[in-house]
Amino acid sequence: MRRIYFDHSATTPVRPEVAKAMYEYLKGENYGNPTSLHYFGRKVRKALEEARDKVAAAIGATANEIVFTSGGTESDNMAIHGVAYSNKNKGNHIITSAVEHHAVLNTVKALGKEGFTVTILPVDKYGMVRMEDVANAITDKTILITIMHANNEVGTIMPIKEIGKLARSRGVIFHTDAVQSFGKIPVDVNDLEVDLLSISGHKIYGPKGVGALYIRKGTRWRQTLLHGGAQERLRRAGTENVPGIIAMGVASELAAANMELESEYLQGLRDSLISEVTGRISRVKLTGHPALRLPNHASFTFEFIEGESMLLSLDMKGVAASSGSACTSGSLEPSHVLLSMGIPHEVAHGSIRLTLGIDNKPEDVSYFMEVMPPIVERLRAMSPLDQETEFAMNSDCAACKVSSSCSRT
Ligand SMILES: *Cc1c(COP(=O)(O)O)cnc(C)c1O
């Protein structure tokens, strides 16, 4: 069967150059522990530091400011927790947004139970925080602002540079989750005026289980989560994931070097996908910002259909998409991102996310447009919501009440 992968925000395939570089550190004599002083250790240590140089260069940082982690989730946890606990004497207030990835949202919520005060800023209908809300939320107790660069579910790009400027002028530490933006739009820590920034390997055509955290020199931050050895200059204990880190270095280098060309290509594909979907299928809305969005990101809500049903029907036709993280964790709640954008419950249930990658071709969009309209037509014909408009407009979650597939984990 023809298989089309339209889920690059969930994960990406590994670039062949990255896999090749990684394999070098899984074979032969490249197995040393980088902490060891002997030949085997030194050899690997050198490669590890070269990888650090590459990651640093890709985001405009210096090598000492890069800490390797197990991925975006760990980077987010480490950034937020580390700032919170080393600035307790200054204050206990943390500001974030309602549309953050759970790696950020659940971390600040956990801190909320440990004596920190958390402000979760609302977003506008495009999923964007308002600058005046950020400014008004800052108090003399504020120690950290953590707001993502680009949203994974709706692709909206936040005004990070402006927030960075504001945070700096108010003496507040600023972290951004750049897991989705890195490799697709410019990410430069000095241009964005951020103090901490998270990236992940598997979202940039690298392997899973490796990431990095940028910590600006002089930032009040300390290691709080992993107790152990002195690796990563006491910032992240545990023997380094050498093959993963080597891969992260190459993936970051390629992400930065190819960003402009690849993004231009992806944007062309994405625009044709958006115009075809909204032009040829009725009662569809683009979610997220129409212009300030990731170049590879298209997300929609289809009235009166369930995202999960679309996803499963598409999968049967060989198309891999995502339902915008609705119904994850086995709960009946639709995506927190869509709800906080003011999209009604029953509409949010009909969300689907199509995220393109460098291997996608224009033919993939054509194939999608062959299979999608009949799927929508069939599901709408079956939908009790489609017949009962009044019921669907009810703010109680109508879709939840009639759905059975939604309860899957
Ligand atoms: C994927 C993702 C993460 C988590 O990264 P992992 O490496 O999978 O732990 C964090 N934030 C955003 C915005 C993401 O898209």
The helix (H) or strand (E) run that includes residue 144 is strand 142-146
Regarding the domain delimited by 4-8+259-396, which CATH topology (the fold level of the hierarchy) does it fall under?
Answer: Aspartate Aminotransferase, domain 1 (3.90.1150)
Contact in structure between 89 and 141 (CB atoms under 8 Å): no
d(CA 95, ligand 1 centre) in Å: 19
Asked if pLDDT for residue 394 goes beyond 50, the answer is: no
Find out whether the beta carbon of 72 lies less than 6 Å from any atom of ligand 1. Answer: yes
pLDDT band at 404 (very low <50, low <70, confident <90, very high): very low
Find out whether the beta carbon of 325 lies less than 6 Å from any atom of ligand 1. Answer: no
Alpha helices in 126-209 (DSSP H): 131-137, 160-169
Annotated domain spans of the chain: 4-8+259-396, 16-255
Asked if pLDDT for residue 403 goes beyond 50, the answer is: no
Catalytic residues: 327
For residue range 115-146, list pLDDT tens digits in order: 999 999 999 999 999 999 999 999 999 999 99
Asked if pLDDT for residue 328 goes beyond 70, the answer is: no
pLDDT band at 73 (very low <50, low <70, confident <90, very high): very high
Residue with tokens 């002195």: 230
Atom from ligand 1 closest to the CA of residue 209: 7
Find out whether the beta carbon of 12 lies less than 6 Å from any atom of ligand 1. Answer: no
Q: What is the dihedral of CA 131, 134, 135, 138, to 10 degrees?
A: -170
Structure confidence at residue 242 (pLDDT): 98
Find out whether the beta carbon of 256 lies less than 6 Å from any atom of ligand 1. Answer: no
Q: What is the mean pLDDT of the chain?
A: 93
- Domain spanning 16-255: CATH 3.40.640.10: yes
The helix (H) or strand (E) run that includes residue 45 is helix 39-58
Structure confidence at residue 400 (pLDDT): 43
Atom from ligand 1 closest to the CA of residue 10: 1
Whole-structure pTM over 0.85, yes or no?
yes
Structure confidence at residue 334 (pLDDT): 86
d(CA 41, ligand 1 centre) in Å: 31
